[in-house]
Structure 1
């Protein structure tokens, strides 16, 4: 039986060494996969940080444009009021042709009044 025990121990020892090598190989593969995931995560994080900075810049630009639009809207409202005022003022005035006709009529009337 001792021979069988020795043989059994030898077989177990060989199997144990094979198992250790296999587990070691699996552990190495696992560690390399985890390292790869870590590198990918780092790359994704850098990209995300760059996008975050881009979005912040775009927000600043959008805020600036919004302020400009508000200012332009106020200016346009003032311009509309001014144009309406000018339009109403022009309605009360005669143009150059009407003025010329009226001037001739007044001259004609004055000459008739003087003649009498």
Structure 2
């Protein structure tokens, strides 16, 4: 009877070892698949990180260019204000024609 139990235990141990090896192989396959997927995701993250860095550089340049444009617009506004003030102080063509006529009339009167 003890021998029978030993035989049964030995058979169960072999069966258990076989199942353990099969489970181990299955986990190895699953682990390899997960590792492969993690590597793929890691590569994609690295690519995305590079793209983000490129975008950061582009945004920095755009911000710099925008700052220059703002400065240029401020200068243009000042120039326009100066031109407006200068134009307000000048005589229009219509006023010039009227003044020419008046001067002509005054000159004619003063010659008489």
TM range (shorter): over 0.9
Output the TM-score relative to the length of structure 2: 0.95
Q: Which residue of 43, 65, 74 corresponds with 1:46?
A: 43
**CA distance, structure 2, for counterparts of residue 23 and residue 63 of structure 1:** 58
Give the corresponding residue for 2:32. Answer: 35
Give the corresponding residue for 1:67. Answer: 64
RMSD: 1.0
* Matched residue count: 112
Does residue 87 (structure 1) correspond to residue 80 (structure 2)? The answer is: no
Moved runs in structure 1, 4+ residues, more than 3 A?
A: none
Q: Which residue of 86, 92, 104 corresponds with 1:107?
A: 104
Give the corresponding residue for 1:78. Answer: 75
Where in structure 1 are there 5+ consecutive unaligned residues? Answer: none
Output the TM-score relative to the length of structure 1: 0.92
**CA distance, structure 1, for counterparts of residue 106 and residue 63 of structure 2:** 63
